[in-house]
Amino acid sequence: MTTAHFHIQIPSCPDNINRVEPFVAQIKEYRMFNDVKYYDILLVLTEAVSNAIFHGNCTDIQKYVEIDLRILPNQLEFTVTDQGGGFNPATLPDPTQASRRTQPNGRGVYLMRQLADELQFADNGRSVRIRFNV
């Protein structure tokens, strides 16, 4: 299998988070993988795009979220990039601490780390590379 590349760009409107699911469904048809992996990818990519829209670009529809995908023989490598001011991922609180368990938010990056095979932030937190072994 050769390497393939896909790219989408979406304005930072919360309604556009819905564009992630059909994108992942198309990828599954192109590069067959099981349903468990499909839902892991869907959850992680939806969280990454949601974070980029809400936290990175602050729902500014003049700004875009870029989603790049490289399909490799045994991996899917996504890169989600926003146009925001960035953040330091090392400063995110641990949502598994007893004092944080009842908080209504703050688990997204933690879940992304648990479900993806590799997660790396770059460009001051404006870009996240997500790898899945398939």
The letter for the amino acid at 52 is A
pTM of the model: 0.93
Please name which of 29, 26, 55, 24 lies closest in space to residue 39, comparing C-alpha atoms: 24
Distance separating alpha carbons of residues 58 and 55, to the nearest angstrom: 5
Distance separating alpha carbons of residues 48 and 112, to the nearest angstrom: 8
Q: What percent of the chain has pLDDT over 70?
A: 99
Confidence check: pLDDT of 106 > 80:
no
For the chain, what is the domain count?
A: 1
Average pLDDT over residues 8-27: 97
- Which pLDDT belongs to residue 1? 60
Distance separating alpha carbons of residues 130 and 48, to the nearest angstrom: 9
Give tens-digit pLDDT for 35-61: 999 999 999 999 999 999 999 999 999
C-beta pairs of 18-26 under 8 Å, 24+ apart in sequence: 20/45, 20/46, 20/49, 20/67, 21/46, 23/67
Read off the CATH number of the domain in which 66 is found. 3.30.565.10
Domain enclosing residue 68, as ranges: 4-133
Neighbours of 105 (CB within 10 A): 7
Distance separating alpha carbons of residues 12 and 126, to the nearest angstrom: 14
